[in-house]
Amino acid sequence: MKFAIQVNEGPYTHEASDTAYLFTRAALEKGHEIFRVFFYHDGVNNGTNLTTPPQDDRNVTNRWSELAAKHNLDLVVCVAAAQRRGIVDEGEMKRNGKSAQNIADGFRISGLGQLIEAGIQADRLVVFGD
């Protein structure tokens, strides 16, 4: 079956990203397809490569990046939400005259249409948030 996942909260502050990750991993292990993981609201903060969590804690962003690399996942960060919160790729950096980019491996910035498309294309859309 084809799943789409929406993540509405950033790393660590809420459990949403953890649950979404563990759900996604379990779905892949069961042979399901993940059409897309869409990061919205503070969820875009999962896509920064600038975190340094404590050594004895999970690394939320790296975990997503690694799962994406292994299963060729489409991790999409909403551009409008990302602009409000400061998640930037090379294109956004140039377009908005920012001094740096901080998008993590395996994530890409795109529009809200990607969420609607995921809702249309997937058999199930599951929302994780606060």
Partner 1 sequence: MSEEMMEEGGTIKKFLYVNRKAPYGTVYALESLEVVLIGAAFEQDVSLVFMDDGVFQITKGQDTAGVEMKNFSPTYRALEMYDVEKLFVEKESLDARGLTEDDLLVPVEVMTSEQIRDLMEDQDVILSF
Partner 2 sequence: MLHIINKSPFERNSLESCLRTASKGSTLLFIEDGVYAALEGSAKADTLRQAMQDYTVCVLEPDLAARGIAAKAMDGIKRVDYAGFVDLVAESERVQSWL
Is residue 74 within 8 A of residue 35, CB to CB? The reply is: yes
Site for partner 2 in 90-109 (CB under 8 A): none
Candidates 37, 104, 19; CA nearest to 76 is 37
What residues form DSSP beta bridges with 48?
103
Task: Report DSSP letters for 72-90, one per residue.
Answer: T--EEEEHHHHHHHT---H
Per CB under 8 A, 113 contacts partner 1 = yes
29 lines the binding site for partner 2 (CB under 8 A)? yes
CB of 53 to its own copies, least distance (A): 5
Selection from its own copies, partner 2, partner 1, none that 112 binds (CB < 5 to 8 A by kind) is partner 1
**Residue 8 vs 61, nearer CB to partner 2:** 8
Is 124 a binding residue for partner 2 by CB under 8 A? The answer is yes
